[in-house]
Amino acid sequence: MLRVLMVLCLAISALAAELGPNVPDGHTLHLWHLDEGAAPFADSGTPPQMLEGLLNGAASGQRSLEGLGTAISFKANAGGTPGASDLRGAILLARPQVANGPQDNVPRGFRYFGPGGAFTYEAVVKFDVLPKDAGVVACGLISMDGDGGDRIFNFRIEKEGFLSFIPLPQGGASGLALATIPTSGPHAIDTVHWFHAAVSYDGNAGVANNLKLYWTRLEHGLTEANQIGSGTLSAGFSGASGDFAIGNEARTFAGNAEAEPFPGVIDEVRISGVARHPSDFFFVAPGSRVSPEEVMARRTNAARRPDSRLRLENVFVDASSPQLPSSPGGALKLSPGLHRLDFDFGFGPDNPGGSIKLRCQLEGIDDRWQETERGMGLVCQALDRNDRVISQTRFPFIGTSSGWETALEDSAMTRRTEPVYIPAGTTALRLSLNSGSPDTTGFVTLDRISLAAPGKPEASLWKNGSIALSEITARAAGAPEGWRRDGSDPAIARLIFRSGAGFLALVDGDQQHHGEWSSVQPISPDGGGAFVLSWEEAYNVSSGSLHRATYVNVPPGSYTFRVVGLAGEGGLLGDGVSLPLVIERPFWQRPWFGPVLAAGLVGLIAAGFVARLRRRTKRRLEALRFQNALEQDRIRIARDLHDDLGTRATVMNMTAALAKRDLDIDPGKAHRHLDKMTDAAREMVVALDDLVWAVDPAHDTLDQLASHLTRVAEEMFRDSPVRCRLDIPAVLPPRPLGAEFRHHLALAVKESLHNILQHAGPCEAFLSFEYDGEKITLTIRDTGRGFDPKAHGSGHGLSNTPDRIREIGGCYAIDSSPGRGTCIVIICRLPQTPT
């Protein structure tokens, strides 16, 4: 933080080293340095106009930007309600006191524009509080706005964040300049830096963009002022005088006081009789400035080389800017569907075309050329049952309405009536209040919209023509029922409430965006015909240099937008401009769709037939697979019955015959044969139980296999000299296993344990069972006699057991040597669980 402050101090010091106060030149009408400790404040202009009234808490001698002396603070008041018109805010004016009448007017010889009507008004300012938090009606900079018939102009900052210059009714001029003060970037408004605010007028009345607005953060190395917007004066000032004031407006009559105090400090106020070039201000090094004489020379040379070329400046598709074709004659291609198209065109900001009229046409939509108009507008469109526009009428707003004062809040609403034609077949009507091309700025407000048949004004077909204050509309983003915001900056569309009544409004100070209110209502005009559209309005609109043509719900197809200029008695001027565009048809309307659909249907039928055959074949294969598995189980059971139970039955039969033979000859021997028969019978029961376990599907799970192996080991070593230790998890998941898998694995383990019992002698045996989610590992180990596997190629189950394991896809390994015991490891990957 300290480093930032040091850098800021160094930057201010470097700026102060270059800056000095304004120096009057031949075009300076008035210049107030405001360095005096108290009123009066000297004027360096000719003839000078002293400023004698420092009132309502305004404080002189305040610290200014280094190099500029001192300044005056206007962040004070002497009573009234903050944010209301009765606030008596700080003010500096020409006369000692504010008066309700002409007593506080400047003298008749006070000059505030040059011989050709041109002027530049400028001041240096620093905010203590940002405008939105100031609690004032507006933030006055320089004004000649008094009471009665002496209201000339107001140069101020609106609470919404606009820099505005507003000609007032008694000044003779009309128009507006309005621009959004930056909130980001190098010139963003804040309460830390000093700013230079200026407005200039070049004296060319009625020419678009003849007003320029500047907002510049004062810092090192500036080469020109930062232009933030422009506007238009349709006529210059008449020379009438009024209440001249700095930092406020000098209005004092019942219910209206000095309600626009500047929330901070003002210094170096200058009025010039020319439109100064952006480089011709005090913060630019003298050697880099362009003098008014040089500006006039450039303008004269430009007039000798008029540029009559039309330009298509912007194209908006559904309020977004598409990528225009790079090659000349290339077509703009748009996605399928209905689109809104906005075209902005003109002669450019420095050559607005004078009295040249423009006509445009969208070939494929317009049957004839349409004359274009600038400014904001109310558009009435008749829609058919497919929501296509079948008729359109535009009513422009440009200049000021008859009841306009200073702002929307204090301007009187006037009634306007216009004829509209609604064709037969109209099912809905759309009204759009739009701010026109992006370089159009100003204010418009509408209320009491009505659509009626001639002679029947009381029966309005438009149902929501007045805006009622409600929970929804009172919100900042609220919208009246049936209305919606649109445009590249929908925030331009606002609601204004005054005395409990609501108004649709457009407040546009942004020269890069546009906004819109729109509403669609069903309508049945009884066959169509002429109707009367009326509304109440108040507006002050400054048109830019661009014209706008709007087309809504343009269907798929090929079009060409054309613009031509008309000069004199209708002769064409130049070659005009054109832009081909193609809105793609939906895929079902394209030529290839029918054949592709037919081919697709044939393919679907064929695919369905093939799928049916595949399903039938799959069922057959599954039946064969099941039958084969059944046969395998039968073969396995038969083999087990023959190999195990059959052998045991044969042994029992032979033993019974021997017992019968020896019963009379050698009873003791006969008893031994009977004992052997009993053991064989018991073993046969165990083997039969193992066989039943192997074929029972209820045991086809991992946990059942582990339980079975535990039981087999315990029973096998119960009365033997072998001590068996088990390491088998107590809890295992019931993962499904195939009957063949568990049967072979169980027999392989049983055979290995049997070999320990038969051949290892008294020892310890170990059986461990490990499961990792994918495979099981069985380890069978003993500490018995051991043997040499190479010397025992057969016997001990050394051939049968590995074959069983390999049959189920497992691995079998044995390690043994005489006197060191035996270790067998079996690893089997579990079969995939069927999904």
5-14, 220-229, 502-511: range with highest mean pLDDT: 220-229
Question: Whats the size of the chain, residue-wise?
Answer: 835
Say if 14 falls within a structural domain: no
> Is the per-residue pLDDT at 253 higher than 60?
yes
Sorted by sequence, the CB contacts under 8 Å of residue 434 that are 6+ apart come out as: 376, 377, 379, 487, 506, 514, 515, 516, 517, 518, 550
Q: Left if phi > 0, otherwise alpha if psi is -120 to 50, otherwise beta: which for 424?
A: beta
Summarize the confidence of residues 583-588 as an average pLDDT: 84
- pLDDT higher than threshold 80 for residue 740: no
What tens digit of pLDDT does each residue of 660-715 get? 777 777 777 777 777 777 767 766 766 666 666 666 666 678 888 888 888 888 88
Determine the Cα–Cα distance for residues 442 and 427; give it in Å rounded to an integer.
33
Q: What is the CATH number of the domain that holds 704?
A: 3.30.565.10
Other Cβ atoms within 10 Å of 219 Cβ, number = 15
Give pLDDT, residue 438: 85
Lowest mean pLDDT among 263-272, 484-493, 734-743: 734-743
Confidence band of 764 (pLDDT split at 50, 70, 90)? very high
Of the three residues 304, 331, 349, the one that is the final residue of a domain is: 304
Phi, psi of 438 (to 5 degrees): -60, -30
Two tokens, residue 314: 């912007």
- Domain identity same for 110 and 195: yes
In the chain, how many H helices and how many E strands? 8, 40
Looking at the fold, whether 245 and 339 belong to one and the same domain comes out as no
- 20-52 pLDDT tens trace: 899 999 999 999 999 999 999 999 998 999 999
Q: Give the C-alpha distances (Å, rounded to integers) separating 832 from 92, 744, 775.
A: 92, 17, 11
Whether this model's pTM surpasses 0.85: no
CATH number at residue 579: 2.60.40.10
Ranking 74-78, 330-334, 654-658, 757-761 by mean pLDDT, the lowest is 654-658
Same domain, 380 and 368: no
- Mean pLDDT in the chain? 84
Looking at the structure, tell me whether residues 288 and 343 fall in a common domain.
no
Choose the final residue of a domain: 304, 331, 353.
Answer: 304
Residue 17 lies in a domain: no
Question: 498 and 598: one domain?
Answer: no
Is 252 inside any structural domain?
yes
Domain shared by 705 and 778, yes or no: yes
Judgement on whether residues 67 and 166 belong to the same structural domain of the protein: yes
Boundary residue ending a domain (556, 586, 616): 586
Is the separation of the CB atoms in 250 and 258 below 8 Å?
yes
Whether residue 600 is found in the same domain as residue 729? no
Residue 459 domain flag: yes
Q: What is the pLDDT of residues 611-670, one digit of tens each?
A: 888 888 888 887 777 677 666 666 666 666 655 666 666 667 777 777 777 777 777 777
Same structural domain, 362 and 252: no
What are the pLDDT digits (tens) for 281-292? 999 999 899 988
Q: Report yes or no on 410 lying in a domain.
A: yes
- The domain of 533 spans 375-543
* Residue 477 domain flag: yes
Q: In the structure, what pLDDT confidence band is assigned to residue 744 with cuts at 50, 70 and 90?
A: confident
Domains: count for the chain:
5
**Residue 2: predicted pLDDT:** 47
| CA torsion angle 184 187 192 194 (round to 10) | -160
Could you read off the pLDDT of 512-546 as tens digits, one per residue?
888 999 999 998 776 678 889 999 999 988 887 88
* Pick from 136-140, 269-273, 699-703, 817-821: least confident: 699-703
Give the other-Cβ count within 10 Å of 446's Cβ. Answer: 24
What's the pLDDT score for residue 633?
Answer: 64
Indicate if the pLDDT at residue 247 is higher than 60: yes
Are 460 and 471 contained in the same domain?
yes
* Beta-strand pair 227-235/483-486: unpaired
Residue 573's pLDDT is 57
Residue 272 binned pLDDT confidence (cut-offs 50, 70, 90): very high
Domain identity same for 343 and 492: no
Per-residue confidence (pLDDT) for residue 626, from 0 to 100: 64
pLDDT of the residue at 644: 63
Q: What 3-state class would DSSP assign to 51?
A: strand
pLDDT in tens, 798-817: 667 888 888 888 999 999 98
CA distance 598 to 591: 12
Model confidence at 14: pLDDT above 50: no
- The structure tokens 């204090």 sit at 410
In whole angstroms, give the CA distance from residue 419 to residue 417: 7
pLDDT of residue 444: 93
From residue 528, give the alpha-carbon distance in Å to each of 384, 457, 823. Answer: 12, 17, 102
- Give the residue, 255 or 44, on which the prediction is more confident: 44
Indicate the DSSP class of residue 698: G
For residues 621 and 557, state if they share a domain: no
Residues 6+ apart with CB under 8 A from 344: 312, 313, 314, 315, 316, 437, 438, 546, 547, 548
With cut-offs at 50, 70 and 90, classify the pLDDT of residue 355. low
In a domain? residue 228: yes
SS (H, E, C) 147-173: CCCCEEEEEEEECCCEEEEEECHHHCC
Q: Among 177, 236, 247, 176, which Cα is nearest to 204's?
A: 236
Report the CATH number that the domain containing residue 250 is assigned in CATH.
Answer: 2.60.120.200
Q: Is residue 13 domain-resident?
A: no
% of residues, the chain, pLDDT over 70: 86
* 357, β-bridge pairs: 566
- For the stretch 177-201, pLDDT in tens is 899 999 999 999 999 999 999 999 9
Q: Encode pLDDT of 58-117 as tens digits.
A: 999 999 999 999 999 999 999 999 888 899 999 999 999 998 888 889 998 899 999 999
The dihedral through the CA atoms of 69, 75, 78, 80 has a sign that is positive
